[in-house]
A and B are shown apart, each in its own frame.
Chain A
Amino acid sequence: MNENILQIQHPVLSISNLMIAYGKDKSAVRDVTADVKRNAITAIMGPSGCGKSTLLRAINRMHELYPNIQTTGDILLNGESIYKMSTTRLRRKIGMVFQRPNPFPTMSIYENVIAGYDLNGSKLKKGEKDAIVESSLHDVGLFEEVKDSLNKKGNFLSGGQQQRLCIARALAFKPEVILMDEPTSALDPLSTAKIEDLLVELKKQYTIVLVTHNMSQAARISDNAMFMYLGELVEYDKTKKMFTNPADSRTEGYLTGKFG
Chain B
Amino acid sequence: MDSKERIAEGENSNWRERKDKLFFGIVVILSFITISPIALILYKLIVKGYKQINLDFFFKVAPDTLQAMTAVRNGELLPGGIANGITGTLLMVAVASVIAIPLSILIGIFLYENQGKQYANLIRSLTDILQGVPSVVLGIIAYIWIVQGITKGFSALAGSVALAIMMLPLIIRSTEETLKMLPISIKEAGAALGVPYHKIILKVMIPSGFSGLMTGILLSISRVIGETAPLMLTTLGSTAINLNITKPTSAVPLQIWEFYNNPNMIDLVWSSSLFLLGFVLTLNIIAKRISNQFN
Chain B residue with the shortest CB-CB distance to A100: B185
Contact of B193 among A65, A86, A103, A120 (CB under 8 A): A120
CB < 8 Å neighbour of B196 from A60, A88, A90, A102: A88
Would you list which residues of chain B between 158 and 197 have a CB under 8 Å from chain A? 183, 185-186, 188-196
Q: Answer whether A62 and B191 are a contact pair too, CB < 8 Å, given A104-B186, A105-B208, A106-B208.
A: yes
Q: Which residues of A contact B194 (CB under 8 A)?
A: 86-92, 116, 120
Asked if B203 is an interface residue, CB under 8 A from chain A, the answer is: yes
Residues of B within 8 A of A90 (CB): 194
A residues 107-125 with Cβ under 8 Å of B?
115-116, 119-121
Residue A95 at the B interface, CB < 8 A?
yes
**Contact status A60-B207, CB under 8 Å:** no
Q: Is the pair A65, B208 in contact by a Cβ cutoff of 8 Å? A: no
Q: Are B186 and A102 in contact (CB under 8 A)?
A: yes
B210 adjacent to chain A (CB < 8 Å) = yes
Q: In the complex, which residue of chain B has the Cβ closest to the Cβ of A116?
A: B193
Q: Are B188 and A65 in contact (CB under 8 A)?
A: yes
Nearest chain A CB to B106 CB, angstrom units: 20
A65 (CB) vs chain B CBs: closest residue:
B191
Please indicate the chain A residues that have their CB under 8 angstroms from the CB of B199 in the complex: 119-121
A170 within 8 A of B: yes
Chain A residue at minimal CB-CB distance from B204: A104
State whether the Cβ of A98 lies closer than 8 Å to any Cβ in chain B: yes
A89 to B195 alpha-carbon distance, docked (Å): 10
B65 to chain A, nearest CB (A): 55
Out of A62, A92, A121, which one reaches B188, CB within 8 Å?
Answer: A62
Closest-by-CB residue of A relative to B188 is A98
User: In the complex, which residues of chain A have a beta carbon less than 8 angstroms from the beta carbon of B188?
Assistant: 62, 65, 98, 102
Residues on the A chain within 8 Å of B208, using CB: 104-106
Quote the shortest CB–CB distance from A140 to chain B (angstroms). Answer: 16
Say yes or no: is A166 at the interface (Cβ < 8 Å to chain B): yes
Looking at the assembled complex, report how far the CB atom of B145 sits from the nearest CB atom of chain A, in whole angstroms.
38
The listed residue with most B CB atoms (<10 A of its CB), out of A88, A98, A104, A169, is: A104
Chain B residues, CB < 8 A from A173: 193
A96 lies within 8 A of B185 (CB): no
A102-B186, A104-B186 are known contacts. Are A170 and B210 too (CB-CB below 8 A)? no
Contact A119 B186 (CB under 8 A): no
Q: Say yes or no: A60-B192 contact (C-beta < 8 A), given A102-B183, A104-B208.
A: yes
- Size bracket of the B interface: 10 to 19
From A60, A87, A102, A115, give the contact of B185 (CB < 8 A). Answer: A102
Partner of A105 from B186, B190, B191, B196 at Cβ < 8 Å = B186
Name the distance in Å between A43's Cβ and chain B's nearest Cβ: 20
Chain A residues near B189 (CB-CB < 8 A): 98, 102-104, 166, 169
B98 to chain A, nearest CB (A): 25
Give chain A nearest CB distance to B286 CB in angstroms. Answer: 20
Judge whether B210 and A106 touch: CB under 8 Å. Answer: yes
Closest A residue to B203 by CB, please name it.
A119
Give bound CA distance, A95 to B192, whole Å.
Answer: 7
Q: Does A106 contact B207, Cβ atoms closer than 8 Å?
A: yes
Residue of B183, B185, B195, B210 touching A119 (CB-CB under 8 A): B195
Contact residues in B for A95 (Cβ distance below 8 Å): 192-193
Measured in the bound complex, the distance between the Cα atoms of B210 and A162 in whole Å is 22
Q: Which of B183, B193, B196 contacts A169 (CB under 8 A)?
A: B193
Closest A residue to B185 using CB positions: A102
* A88 neighbours in B (Cβ, 8 Å): 194-196
Instruction: State A87–B194 Cα separation when bound (angstroms).
Output: 6
Given contacts A100-B185, A102-B183, A106-B207, contact A170 B192 (CB under 8 A): yes
Question: CB-nearest residue of chain B relative to A64?
Answer: B191
Cα separation A2 to B204 with both chains bound (whole Å): 43
Q: Give the complex CA separation of A102 and B203 in angstroms.
A: 15
Interchain CB contact under 8 A, B191 and A119: no
Chain B residues near A103 (CB-CB < 8 A) = 189
User: What's the nearest-Cβ distance from chain B to residue A123, in Å?
Assistant: 15
In the assembled complex, which residues on chain A have CB atoms less than 8 Å from the CB atom of B183?
Answer: 100, 102
Q: Check A120/B192 contact, CB under 8 A, given A100-B185, A102-B185.
A: no
CB distance from A183 to the nearest CB of B (A): 12
Give the interface of A toward B (CB within 8 A). Answer: 60, 62, 65, 86-92, 95-96, 98-100, 102-106, 115-116, 119-121, 166, 169-170, 173
- Per CB-CB distance, the 6 closest pairs between chain A and chain B, nearest first, are A91-B194, A102-B185, A88-B194, A96-B192, A116-B193, A119-B195
- Apart from the given pairs A62-B188, A92-B194, A102-B185, 20 other A-B contacts in the complex at a CB distance below 8 Å: A60-B192, A86-B194, A90-B194, A91-B192, A91-B194, A98-B188, A98-B189, A98-B192, A102-B183, A102-B188, A104-B186, A106-B207, A115-B193, A116-B195, A119-B199, A119-B204, A120-B193, A120-B196, A169-B189, A170-B192
Q: List 14 A-B contacts (CB under 8 A).
A: A88-B195, A90-B194, A91-B193, A91-B194, A95-B193, A98-B189, A102-B183, A104-B190, A106-B208, A116-B194, A116-B195, A119-B190, A119-B204, A170-B193
